[in-house]
Chains A and B, each alone.
Chain A
Amino acid sequence: MDIKDIIKPENLVYSKSKLFTDKALSYCPGCGHGTAHKLVLQTIEEMGIESETIGVAPVGCSVLAYEFMDIDIQQASHGRAPAVATAIKRLMPEKFVFTYQGDGDLAAIGTAETIHACNRGENIVIIFINNGIYGMTGGQMAPTTIAKMKTSTSPYGRDTAIMGNPLKITELVAQLPGVYYCTRQAVHTAAAVRKAKKAIRQAFENQKLKKGLSFVEIVSNCNSGWKMTPVDSNIWMENNMFPFYPLGDIKVPTEK
């Protein structure tokens, strides 16, 4: 097979979503954000809803999400994406609205907005990237940083007696009646990516059916913040993050 054969359309095995802009991703090599972006964009593209979708990306590593996603996007202030999305959806109920938030944003500064949007059952999708650290500001302790984990503001490891416990916000919001679907996924292996994709699709389909809030957590790595190679960070994640944040559905709709 020479190059002429390789570039033939019928030999195409992979292409990026049309909804990616041509801007190179600014995420660190090895980071899960790019894959998570891809899954969201692929879902929107496959459902054919790009002209009806408004994304909300707040402060954190994903603050520049609007540079990479070729859809209408609002950049929200830190933690407030669920409030911003609430208004967008209520004012334009026929549109699709999602937020894309990190752990510091969603589970620390924006806890109130997260819980109340979930509790009201806003008909939106929340994509929650949990890497247990503040990546954008250089690796400080996050609300989801697990016990004993070292960060720049817990340099000797998170001492839960002093610094409090890691917050399982996904289990917490799953209790709320407004949350229709709640799941925890990962994007570090091909199998995980396939499952995560299915979950995101499910979330957007729920919105189409006006079912209420769908909450998709993606436990991801932060190789830069964790100060590991990408490969090591994924192994560390499997060994340390997953036992505390087990993957799988937390709340699934019971009715047909």
Chain B
Amino acid sequence: MKELRLMKGNEAIAEAFIRAGADGYFGYPITPQSEVLEYLMAQKPYETTGMVVLQAESEVAAINMVYGGAGCGKKVVTSSSSPGISLKAEGISYMAGAELPCLVVNVVRGGPGLGTIQPSQGDYFQSTKGGGHGDYKLIVLAPASVQEMADFAKLGFELAFKYRTPVMIQSDGVIGQMMEKVELFEQMPRWTNEEIKKISPWATVGKTPDRERNIITSLDLDPARQERHVYKLGAKYKEIEENEVRFEKIQCDDAEYIFVAYGSSARICQKSIEIARAKGIKVGLLRPITLFPFPKKVLNKLADQVKGMLTVEMSLGQMIEDVQLAVNGKVKVEHYGRVGGMIPSPDEIVAALEQKIIGG
């Protein structure tokens, strides 16, 4: 029988870490995601699956614990919210450079600075365009429901190990704090030492006589070798762009206008569609599920069909740059959003569509 529970997004993702066979979680409390660590500590998976759960002394320590664990081929994860992710950015860059698989969850709150504890999507640039230093990309998954919080924990680990790269789950205060019905996937066993040796032969688990030593590093002082390494990373990101684009199209078939929104904004836009369609406005929604790789092709194609697009983000307008690049000037693209922890209401969004796109 399927197991249905009413859970907060933060609790669902924590439960999903355990069920996905994670070996370790390392985190530091910060609102609005502290329930992740609280839930794990209450569940005590170290007594059941053997998963390590450790409250670190800082976000910096936590991401470096993830580095250490990932370097051993373990399934490891950390979670935080915006200011904490800034602190983790160095470690994430190191992991991208050292090609270490891991999961990083950002339950985004309003910034900049200490900002607010209320929901925001102002970390889009940080997640998709860098955050840390150097030429790297993260696979960025944007859940829009509690169900996806759980499912993307599993998917995130799969992608992280498939491409040997850190995966970011970019959630926000709405998805983290809300409760919905969630169907949990079954407990997966943790990998054995033998499995780890097969899956991740590069892992530092102790040098045995049958192989060369394994080194986990992001450093190479020889520019020619470092250049080859960065080109290799680049090729990997191209491959990810070709294979891993994920999106959802909602009521796009007859649409004359399109909302482009992810995460909680995409949920709110679905209510806006109900309101707008009741008024006779044919509007649909394109919801990017992967923020990187971004669903460029489908947006470019939709641009041939619709009269305009409104991106709805809880930011000053960040994803809109990717939408504009994708449609390449074919149709008008405008932005509507709220910032500082304010959440746009469904009717506000319809009004913005009417003013900025239909009437504009």
A contact set with B: CB distance below 8 Å: 50-54, 56, 63-64, 66, 69-77, 80, 83-88, 90-92, 95, 112-113, 115-116
* CB <8 Å contact, B61 and A71: no
The contact size tier of chain B is: 35 or more
Q: In angstroms, how far is the closest chain A Cβ from the Cβ of B27? A: 12
Inter-chain contact B217/A95, CB cutoff 8 Å: no
Between-chain CB contacts (< 8 Å), 17 pairs: A50-B207, A51-B206, A66-B215, A73-B204, A73-B213, A73-B214, A73-B216, A75-B219, A77-B64, A84-B68, A85-B68, A86-B61, A86-B65, A91-B52, A113-B61, A115-B57, A116-B57
Q: Which residues of chain B are within 8 angstroms of A85 by Cβ–Cβ distance? A: 68
Complex CA gap A86/B26 in Å reads 11
In angstroms, Cα B62 to Cα A56, docked, is: 16
A107 to chain B, nearest CB (A): 16
The listed residue (B23, B68, B94, B207) touching A86 by CB distance below 8 A is B68
Known interface pairs A63-B219, A84-B64, A91-B72; 8 further A-B residue pairs with C-beta atoms within 8 A, sorted by A's residue number: A54-B205, A54-B206, A66-B213, A74-B215, A87-B26, A90-B52, A112-B58, A115-B57
B72–A92 CB distance below 8 A: yes
Q: Which residues of A contact B215 (CB under 8 A)?
A: 66, 72-75
B206, A76: Cβ atoms closer than 8 Å:
no
| A residues less than 8 Å from B219 (CB atoms) | 63-64, 75
What 1/0 flags go to B206-231 for Cβ under 8 Å of A? 11110001111111010000000000
Contact check, A77 vs B94: say whether CB atoms are below 8 A apart: yes
A72 to B68 Cα, complex, angstroms: 12
- Check: B83 CB closer than 8 A to any chain A CB: no
For the complex, what is the distance from the CA of A77 to the CA of B52, rounded to whole Å? 22
CA distance A71 to B218 in the complex (A): 17
In chain A, what residue has the closest Cβ to B71? A74
> Residues of B contacting A87 with CB < 8 Å?
24, 26, 52, 54, 64-69, 72, 76
The answer to whether B72 touches A76 (Cβ under 8 A) is: no
Q: Mark B161-198, 1 if CB is under 8 A from A, else 0.
A: 00000000000000000000000000000000000000
Assess the B67–A91 pair: CB atoms within 8 A.
no
Identify which of B56, B91, B215 gathers the most chain A CB atoms within 10 Å of its CB. B215
How far is A74 from B60 in the complex, measured between Cα atoms in Å?
17
Cα-based distance from A85 to B54 in the complex (angstroms): 13
B74 (CB) vs chain A CBs: closest residue: A91
Contacts of A77 in B (CB 8 A): 64, 67, 90-91, 94
CB distance from A173 to the nearest CB of B (A): 14
Determine the chain B residues whose CB is within 8 A of the CB of A63 once the complex forms.
Answer: 219
Residues of B within 8 A of A54 (CB): 72, 204-206
- The answer to whether B60 and A80 touch across the interface, beta carbons within 8 angstroms, is yes
Complex Cα distance, B54 from A84, in Å, reads 13
Q: Which residues of A contact B90 (CB under 8 A)?
A: 77
Q: How far is the CB of B153 from chain A (nearest CB, A)?
A: 18
Nearest neighbor of B91 in chain A, beta-carbon distance = A77
Determine the residue in chain A with the shortest Cβ distance to B62: A83
Contacting residue for B208 out of A51, A80, A90, A95, CB 8 A: A51
Q: Write out the residue numbers on chain A whose beta carbons fall within 8 Å of the beta carbon of B76.
A: 87, 91
Q: Are B57's CB and A92's CB within 8 A? A: no
* Chain A residues within an 8 Å CB radius of B56: 83, 116
Known A112-B57, A113-B57, A113-B61: A71·B207 in contact at CB below 8 Å: yes
Q: Which residues of the other chain, A, contact B205 by a CB distance below 8 angstroms?
A: 54, 72, 92, 95
Bound state CA distance, A86 and B58, in angstroms?
Answer: 14
Kindly state the separation between the CA atoms of A75 and B209 in the bound complex, as whole angstroms: 22
Most chain B CB inside 10 Å of its own CB: which residue of A51, A69, A91, A113 = A91
Residues of A within 8 A of B214 (CB): 72-73
Report Cα–Cα, A88/B71, bound state, in Å.
8
Residues of A within 8 A of B217 (CB): 66, 74-75
Decide if A88 touches B69 in the complex (CB within 8 Å).
yes
